[in-house]
Structure 1
Amino acid sequence: MNAAIAIAVAYLIGSISFAVVVSRLFGLSDPRTYGSKNPGATNVLRSGNKAAAALTLVGDGFKGWLAVWLAMVYQDQFNLSDTTVALVGLAVFVGHLWPVFFKFVGGKGVATALGVLLAINVWLGLATFATWLIVAYAFRYSSLAALIASLFAPFYYGLLFGANFTLLAVAVMSALLIYRHAQNIANLMSGKESRIGSKKK
């Protein structure tokens, strides 16, 4: 019972779309109506408001970290298994992708996934983030950086902790992230993908 509650709460936390909430607070257009139409920090940046984009990035990352951190802190008190903690991480990520509060239209999960990884292990999160930074700096494509970082995340986890259920959860999260970037992959292949910092159209 406690496991089911923890997973449900994580999903609800993930369903808070900071791109939409922050944009409303700043009086900006709904990020689902311009650019990539993705409610995420990169698309909010296309509005030209860097502060709103930064808050979106922090908020989406924080909710991923918070859900897993809470599960780990109260793991013994509520008798939550390591498998449940891993499922909590997956649930908060799924909540971001398909948020119940926003008609199941969510983002692609890059920042939230990073928050989950940082909560699981700081070095895991930092290694994945460093991979994103290197690719983003080199090619100026947020989507390409996310795709490559998501491929490396399970590899980094395996190096640090070996094979277990959490590795499977990280791999599923990576697969979902890649799935959500299907249009970006097509745009990259056709040369139509927007670069980081490009203005909304």
Structure 2
Amino acid sequence: MIEILIPSLILTVLAYLFGSLSSAIILCRIAGLPDPRTEGSGNPGATNVKRIAGSKLAALVLVIDIVKGSLPVLLAVLLGLSETWLALVALAAFLGHLYPIFFQFQGGKGVATALGGFIVLSPLLTVAVVSTWVMTFIVTRISS
């Protein structure tokens, strides 16, 4: 039991810390752009980065945020952790994005990070959810 518990707890903490790395804030700093928490909608996510910096940087933020959710869960799968631990690891990455320790707990909405976790946890459900979002976006033209 303890042989599984300690690695599971460590991975969960690491997932939170990984989720706490705000790609929107970091990439905007690197590009010499304003903090997305103080511009546009005030949300440090891909949609707001698109408003501030354009589609290319926003796409990079989106990909990194998806990886933040998927990579820890994929690692948990490879380590053979139980479904409960897989869900906890995904939740930790998501909470890290929402409440990042490295950025005064001011994070984004977590949509892309949650999507990354769901891609690994349930690919078919992810396809259904993304399809629904795409159809809603086509009708409303509203992304967030």
TM-score (norm 2): 0.92
Query: How far has the Cα of 1:142 moved from its partner?
Result: 1.5
Of the three residues 46, 51, 59, the one matched with 2:56 is: 51
Which amino acid is the alignment partner of residue 86 of structure 2?
Answer: V
Question: How far apart are 1:31 and its partner, in Å?
Answer: 0.4
Instruction: Render the CA deviation track for 1:174-194: whole Å, top value 9, x for unaligned.
Output: xxxxxxxxxxxxxxxxxxxxx
Letter aligned with residue 111 of structure 1 = A
- Give yes or no for contact 1:115–1:125 (8 Å, CA) kept in 2: no
Q: Percent identity of the aligned residues?
A: 50
Amino acid at match of 2:22: S
2:17 aligned with 1:16:
no
Residue 123 of structure 2: aligned partner:
122
Give per-residue Cα distances to partners, 1:63-112, cap 9 Å, x unaligned: 1011110110112xxxx322111100111000000001111110001111
Q: Distance in 2 between matches of 1:123 and 1:25?
A: 36
In 1, Cα distance between equivalents of 2:75 and 2:46: 24
Deviation at 1:122, TM superposition (A): 1.8
Contact between 1:42 and 1:142, CA under 8 Å: does it hold in 2?
yes
TM-score under structure 1 normalisation? Answer: 0.67
After superposition, the C-alpha distances for 1:22-79 in whole angstroms (9 at most, x for unaligned) are 112222111011111000000011114211111001110111011110110112xxxx
Structure 1 residues 14 and 121 mapped into 2: Cα distance closer, same or farther (>3 Å)?
Answer: same
Shift of 1:132: 1.1
Q: Which runs of 5+ in 1 are unaligned?
A: 144-201
- Aligned ranges for residues 46-195 of structure 1 at < 5 Å? 46-75=51-80, 80-143=81-144
Please give the secondary structure, in 2, of the residue aligned with 1:142.
Answer: coil
Shift of 1:121: 2.2
**Equivalents in 2 of 1:133, 1:41: separation in Å?**
16
Q: Post-superposition shift, 1:123? A: 1.5
4+ residue runs over 4 A deviation: none
Q: Is the contact between residue 68 and residue 120 of structure 1 (CA under 8 Å) also seen in structure 2? A: yes
Conserved? CA contact 1:114–1:128, under 8 Å: no
| Equivalent position amino acid for 1:52 in 2 | L
RMSD over aligned Cα atoms: 1.1
Q: 2:37 aligns with which of 14, 17, 32?
A: 32
Higher relative contact order by CA 8 Å / sep ≥ 6: 1 or 2? 2
User: Where does the alignment leave 5 or more consecutive residues of structure 2 unmatched?
Assistant: 1-5
